[in-house]
């Protein structure tokens, strides 16, 4: 079964055509700078392809181009659109209306309108992506929506409620939603496989660490807590995002500097985290270099992120009443042996053991077990695969 996976951002549309039976990626690519000028990259599974500047006025135009590249010319991988069995869409925010992936119908799209403003930069383009698919491929090709928030919908109220008047939860649904749910779900399922157990028999902390980062507690296959909050701004220090703060820091800076809510939101999302603390870069590799050269603010930024992750591993183990495995994924989680070593240092009291040699060699897309034989808690690196998870959900829903 061939599933087209679509991930539409505010000015981009990424895609992968996946053969879901054998996980093969037949083609993938990205339309960038939609609504600005437009750039289109397309690659076949064996690495051939092209990159070109092309006018991309909107998501519909981008989607038409994707279909053209998949079906015609030198780098086509299918003969016609009839080979696309279904389309799976990544949706950033489903509020508390969507607890699972769903098959798209007119009704579902109407319901989605009720949560569209939870992710004003991401949900509207995702909807455009769905509309473009339905127009171009016709309603006979089913579409499925896979929500980044859905996996976290099993959190109990004690984990999702914020300490503000309850009426804001009732009126505006202000609560913790989390993000990266598809990734946390994928790596926790894979982790259970590696442990040789059913998901119901496991207690796992999953660390998705990239430009955006979040940590989840997955007890018996269900998310019971996660670090991101109402939006993906919450949680640990990230590339450009502040993560959790004493809320009065926000009002204090706004008053001192005369900053509007919109500008403050921008400051917390784009000018904080690694870039804000270090003043050097939002990229962990740049900070690695700077820290090695002895630049103090770079070291503080990295140490702070690692310390926050370590604290959450402890907190989530306490929340679940135990820990079977700790999983690292995402660009930093899969590649930074220094971060993994720092997080796992002095954690023997929890049953975490750590093999430095395995840690060094498990990078660049490799899966591996970093713990010592006999260690009570396994420490895994599991490269995430959100697109495959989306394709799998799509297959399940369309039968
Ligand atoms: P992602 O958002 O998952 O693509 O991850 C991007 C982050 O991963 C950036 O901060 C990169 O610097 C980081 N990253 C990628 N490769 C490495 C590496 N070899 N060592 C440390 N960080 C890395």
Question: Which residue's alpha carbon is at the smallest distance from atom 23 of ligand 1?
Answer: 332
pLDDT digits (tens, 9 = 90+) for 68-110: 999 999 999 999 999 999 999 999 999 999 999 999 999 999 9
The answer to whether 38 is annotated as binding is no
C-beta atoms surrounding 19 within 10 Å: 15
Q: Verify that 283 and 341 share a domain, yes or no.
A: yes
| CB of 387 shorter than 6 A to ligand 1 | no
Ligand 1 nearest atom to the CA of residue 286, by list position: 12
Question: Which residue's alpha carbon is at the smallest distance from atom 20 of ligand 1?
Answer: 336
Residue 121 clears pLDDT 90, i.e. is over it: no
Helix axes 59-71, 123-137, angle to 10 degrees: 50
The one-character DSSP state at 383 is -
Residue 396: partners with Cβ closer than 8 Å, 6 or more residues away: 101
* Confidence class for position 351, pLDDT limits 50, 70, 90: very high
Q: Verify that 303 and 213 share a domain, yes or no.
A: yes
* Domain assignment present for 235: yes
Distance CA 161, CA 229 (A): 10
| CB of 393 shorter than 6 A to ligand 1 | no
Q: Among 146, 178, 209, which residue terminates a domain?
A: 146
Among the residue ranges 118-132, 205-219, 320-334, the one predicted with the least confidence is 118-132
Predicted local distance difference test score (pLDDT) of residue 265 = 95
| CB of 332 shorter than 6 A to ligand 1 | yes
* Domain assignment present for 73: yes
Q: Verify that 118 and 203 share a domain, yes or no.
A: no
**Under 8 Å between Cβ of 110 and 29:** no
Q: Verify that 109 and 229 share a domain, yes or no.
A: no
Q: Give the domain CATH number at 331.
A: 3.30.420.40
The one-character DSSP state at 372 is P
pLDDT digits (tens, 9 = 90+) for 264-307: 999 999 999 999 999 999 999 999 999 999 999 999 999 999 99
Ligand 1: centre distance to CA 128 (Å): 30
Residue 208 clears pLDDT 90, i.e. is over it: yes
Q: Verify that 141 and 200 share a domain, yes or no.
A: no
Q: Is 29 exposed, middle or buried (0-12, 13-18, 19+ CB in 10 A)?
A: buried
Q: Verify that 91 and 212 share a domain, yes or no.
A: no
Pick the catalytic residue from 37, 148, 225, 324. 148
* Domain assignment present for 14: yes
Average pLDDT over residues 226-251: 97
pLDDT digits (tens, 9 = 90+) for 137-186: 998 999 999 999 999 999 999 999 999 999 999 999 999 999 999 999 99
Dump strand ranges (E) for the chain. Answer: 2-8, 13-19, 24-32, 39-44, 49-53, 86-91, 102-103, 143-147, 203-209, 213-219, 222-226, 325-329, 368-369, 378-381
Domain that holds residue 118: 1-146
Q: Verify that 217 and 337 share a domain, yes or no.
A: yes
Q: What token pair was written down for 393?
A: 């959900």
Residue 120 clears pLDDT 90, i.e. is over it: no
Q: What token pair was written down for 208?
A: 């998705």
Is the CA virtual torsion 338, 212, 385, 27 positive or negative?
Answer: negative
The one-character DSSP state at 23 is T
* Domain assignment present for 399: no
The answer to whether 385 is annotated as binding is no
* Domain assignment present for 2: yes
Active site residue 46: no
Residue 399 clears pLDDT 90, i.e. is over it: no
Q: Verify that 91 and 200 share a domain, yes or no.
A: no
Q: Among 112, 146, 180, which residue terminates a domain?
A: 146
* Domain assignment present for 358: yes
Average pLDDT over residues 244-251: 98
Predicted local distance difference test score (pLDDT) of residue 335 = 98
Residue 5 clears pLDDT 90, i.e. is over it: yes
Q: What token pair was written down for 260?
A: 């509007």
Q: Decide: helix, strand or coil at residue 201.
A: helix
The answer to whether 332 is annotated as binding is yes
* Domain assignment present for 170: no
* Domain assignment present for 152: no
Q: Verify that 355 and 228 share a domain, yes or no.
A: yes
- The secondary structure of 246-305, three-state, reads CHHHHHHHHHHHCCCHHHHHHHHHHCCHHHHHHCCCCCHHHHHHHHHCCCHHHHHHHHHH
Q: Ligand 1 pocket test: which of 335, 365, 381, 382 has the largest number of ligand atoms within 8 Å of its C-beta? A: 335
Predicted local distance difference test score (pLDDT) of residue 103 = 98
Q: Verify that 224 and 325 share a domain, yes or no.
A: yes
Nearest to 220 by CA among 249, 200, 245: 200
Residue 9 clears pLDDT 90, i.e. is over it: no
The one-character DSSP state at 207 is E
| CB of 337 shorter than 6 A to ligand 1 | no
Predicted local distance difference test score (pLDDT) of residue 10 = 84
Predicted local distance difference test score (pLDDT) of residue 139 = 84
| CB of 336 shorter than 6 A to ligand 1 | yes
pLDDT digits (tens, 9 = 90+) for 379-394: 999 999 999 999 999 9
Predicted local distance difference test score (pLDDT) of residue 159 = 98
Q: Verify that 206 and 340 share a domain, yes or no.
A: yes
Predicted local distance difference test score (pLDDT) of residue 277 = 98
Is the CA virtual torsion 139, 390, 148, 276 positive or negative?
Answer: negative
Q: How many separate domains does the chain show?
A: 2
Q: Verify that 267 and 122 share a domain, yes or no.
A: no
pLDDT digits (tens, 9 = 90+) for 312-321: 999 999 999 9
């Amino acid at each position: 079964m061939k599933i087209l996976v679509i991930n539409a951002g505010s000015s981009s549309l990424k895609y992968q055509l996946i053969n879901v039976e054998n996980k093969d990626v037949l083609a993938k690519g990205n339309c960038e700078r939609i609504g600005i000028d437009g750039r289109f990259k397309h690659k076949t599974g064996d690495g051939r392809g092209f990159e070109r500047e092309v006018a991309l006025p909107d998501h519909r135009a981008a989607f038409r181009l994707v279909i053209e590249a998949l079906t015609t010319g030198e780098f086509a991988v299918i003969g016609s659109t009839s080979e696309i069995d279904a389309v799976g869409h990544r949706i950033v925010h489903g509020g508390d209306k969507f607890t699972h992936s769903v098959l798209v119908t007119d009704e579902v799209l109407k319901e989605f309108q009720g949560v569209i403003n939870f992710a004003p930069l991401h949900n509207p383009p995702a909807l455009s992506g769905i509309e473009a698919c339905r127009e171009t491929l016709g309603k006979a090709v089913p579409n499925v929506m896979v929500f980044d928030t859905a996996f976290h919908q099993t959190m109990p109220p004690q984990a999702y409620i914020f300490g503000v008047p309850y009426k804001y939860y009732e009126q505006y649904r202000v609560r913790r939603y989390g993000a990266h749910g598809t990734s946390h779900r994928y790596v926790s399922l894979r982790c259970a496989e590696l442990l040789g157990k059913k998901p119901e028999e496991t207690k796992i902390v999953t660390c998705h660490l990239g430009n955006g980062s979040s940590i989840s507690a997955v007890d018996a296959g269900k998310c019971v807590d996660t670090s991101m909050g109402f939006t993906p701004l919450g949680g640990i220090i990230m590339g450009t995002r502040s993560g959790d703060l004493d809320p009065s820091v926000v009002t204090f800076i706004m008053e001192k500097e005369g900053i509007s809510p919109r500008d403050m939101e921008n400051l917390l999302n784009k000018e904080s985290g690694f870039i804000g603390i270090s003043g050097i870069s939002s990229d962990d590799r740049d900070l690695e270099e700077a820290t090695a050269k002895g630049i103090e603010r770079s070291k503080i930024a990295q140490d702070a992120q690692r310390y926050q992750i370590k604290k959450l591993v402890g907190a989530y183990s306490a929340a679940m009443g135990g820990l079977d495995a700790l999983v690292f994924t995402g660009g930093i989680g899969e590649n930074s042996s220094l971060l993994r070593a720092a997080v796992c240092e002095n954690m023997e009291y929890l049953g975490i053991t750590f093999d430095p040699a395995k840690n060094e060699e498990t990078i660049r897309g490799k899966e591996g077990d970093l713990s010592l034989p006999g260690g009570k808690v396994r420490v895994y690196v599991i490269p995430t695969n959100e697109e495959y998870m989306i394709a799998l959900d799509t297959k399940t829903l369309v039968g």
